[in-house]
Amino acid sequence: MSVRTLPLLFLNLGGEMLYILDQRLRAQNIPGDKARKVLNDIISTMFNRKFMEELFKPQELYSKKALRTVYDRLAHASIMRLNQASMDKLYDLMTMAFKYQVLLCPRPKDVLLVTFNHLDAIKGFIQDSPTILHQVDETFQQLTEIYGGLSAGEFQLIRQTLLIFFQDLHIRVSIFLKDKVQNSNGRFVLPVSGPLPWGTKVPGLVRTFNNKGEEVRKVEFKHGGSYVAAPKEGSFELYGDRVLKLGTNMYSVNRPMETHMSGASENLAAQTQESIAPNPLAKEELNLLARLIGGMEIKKPSGPEPGFRLNLFTTDEEEETSRRTKSWLGSWGSLRSWTSQGGVPARAMICLP
């Protein structure tokens, strides 16, 4: 496990959260000034200097519940409010989008380019707020200083740590299903053709060398794929062509972003088991949350401006249906835990709808 993974995980998931919120704010015709305030408040909180200092300290990843608590707090750092069903859906979309990006990274180091794509898009949301832009640029500099000198092996360890974090998440998302990059069981379809990692050649040639390093034989073979060599390496500078498109805003075109309950049910069952099993890192997780949330320094709105509720579903009825379904599934999971332990629950709470 890499102790340098948490900042990349948080920033990329946060970028996906902002993409989704921006899309929903536009879809629900929220007035422009309110929408800008929501995004500005969330981004300002997300890139708070004290918060970033805690985030960048070398530390292991913690449970999904611990990080979810941070995003709950972050999403409500402004006048916008999400109910539980919408927050669940928001987090599902965030995690599945970034999981797909990590899987598709041509090189382990390219996860840094994905992060820079998210930061570039975030700066587009706050072009009229120089103070917040400066916060984001400071985080960019921290990323460059910390990750710029890491070896390929260290980035491989970071990628493995991210994949371990995502390995049990198989939630179906309509965008991925329609694009046929996700199967009906929630698992992604990875291409065997396409762009190659920077610095590699198109497959089709085997070269043999002797003990003096001299080439003694060449054998060509048919690779059976359709490969394209990378034209250039993506830029790791503050302003530059990232080349890689992973991490850019896939909601910039108005598309539906439904999650499907059959996949969410599998995820919920795994989360139920996780909540029942004793967690040896519970104390450390609480300490992490205390430091991270304490570093957010969320300021309450001082003016009389009223808040509003954002719905991540097409209608209020869909949102209520999702809430009831998850409530029933959670109750069933708790009931199964209670009966499997002879009627003596260790940490089960049954809340039947």
Q: Dump pLDDT digits (tens) for 150-191.
A: 999 999 999 999 999 999 999 999 889 999 999 999 999 988
CA quadruple 247, 99, 42, 86: dihedral sign: positive
pLDDT of 278 reads 42
Asked whether residue 143 is domain-assigned, the answer is yes
User: How is residue 270 written in tokens?
Assistant: 């795994």
| Number of domains, the chain | 1
pLDDT of 222 reads 87
Based on C-alpha coordinates, what's the Rg of the chain?
Answer: 22
| Beta-bridge mates of residue 220 | 205
Asked whether residue 321 is domain-assigned, the answer is no
pLDDT in tens, 262-318: 444 444 444 434 443 444 555 555 555 556 656 555 555 555 566 667 777 665 666
pLDDT at position 82 over 90: no
The verdict on pTM exceeding 0.85 is no
Asked whether residue 158 is domain-assigned, the answer is yes
Asked whether residue 296 is domain-assigned, the answer is yes
pLDDT of 315 reads 59
Q: Residue 347's pLDDT band (boundaries 50, 70, 90)? A: very low
Give the pairing of strands 205-209 and 227-228.
Answer: unpaired
pLDDT in tens, 45-81: 999 999 899 899 999 887 888 888 889 989 888 888 8
Q: What is the phi/psi pair of residue 23, to 5°?
A: -65, -40
- Rounded CA separation 114/96 (Å): 15
* Number of residues in the chain: 353
Asked whether residue 52 is domain-assigned, the answer is yes
Q: Residue 105's pLDDT band (boundaries 50, 70, 90)? A: very high
Task: Please compute the mean of the pLDDT values over residues 253-258 and round it to a whole number.
Answer: 57
Asked whether residue 342 is domain-assigned, the answer is no
Tokens 């991540």 appear where? 312
Asked whether residue 94 is domain-assigned, the answer is yes
pLDDT in tens, 116-161: 999 999 999 999 999 999 999 999 999 999 999 999 999 999 999 9
* C-alpha to C-alpha distances, 41 to 61, 84, 136, nearest whole angstrom: 26, 21, 13
- Which of 82, 57, 60 has the alpha carbon at shortest distance from 71? 82
pLDDT at position 340 over 50: no
Give the pairing of strands 215-220 and 227-228.
Answer: unpaired
Instruction: Count other Cβ atoms within 10 Å, centred on residue 136.
Output: 20
pLDDT in tens, 241-254: 999 999 999 887 65
Q: Residue 338's pLDDT band (boundaries 50, 70, 90)? A: very low
Question: Which domain range does residue 102 map to?
Answer: 5-191+236-252+281-313
pLDDT of 341 reads 43
Asked whether residue 186 is domain-assigned, the answer is yes
Task: Please compute the mean of the pLDDT values over residues 190-201 and round it to a whole number.
Answer: 86
